[in-house]
Amino acid sequence: MLSENADILSLRDANQRFYDAFGSLDMAQMDAVWEQSDRALCVHPGWQPIVGWGDIRRSWQGIFNGAALMHFNIHYVNIAVEGNCGFVTCVESITSVVEGQAQGFGVLATNIFVRSGPDSDPRWLCIAHHASPRL
């Protein structure tokens, strides 16, 4: 069972913003979600890992350019906060439209966030996204 405290809720909101950005294929929203650093890491399902915001951003742009619609239903598996770090593991149930064809598929993702800003207005930024196909 997930603890429903303020830390967990604000972390879940940040995770949701990640998927809102993804679902709306909006690069400006995705920019606002990520820590734009050399240590940022991204693994798209089945891809080689990408390290560093510059290359990560280019990967999202490529994905966004190739997809006409992405709809996400997120099922939370685990959410934990430790200090200013947060860890979310969730199942992404995705409906995508590519070249006029609707496709449904599942992805398992672990997302790592780091918190900055005042306690009253915490700002979680994603520093790692590791997604893998559900077999």
Residue 39 engages a copy of itself in binding (rule: CB under 8 A): yes
DSSP state of 95: E
Q: Residue 104, interface with a copy of itself (CB under 8 A)?
A: no
Binding status of residue 130 toward a copy of itself by CB under 8 A: yes
Whole-number minimum distance, CB 30 to a copy of itself, in Å?
19
Residue 104 CB: number of other CB atoms within 10 A? 9
The minimum distance between CB 112 and a copy of itself, in angstroms, equals 6
Show the 3-state SS of 68-82.
Answer: CEEEEEEEEEEEEEE
**133 Cβ partners below 8 Å, 6+ apart?**
45, 46, 105, 106, 107, 108
Please report, as ranges, the residues that interact with a copy of itself according to CB under 8 A: 39, 41, 43, 45-46, 49, 51, 77-78, 80, 82-85, 87, 89, 91, 108, 110, 112, 114, 127-128, 130, 132-133, 135
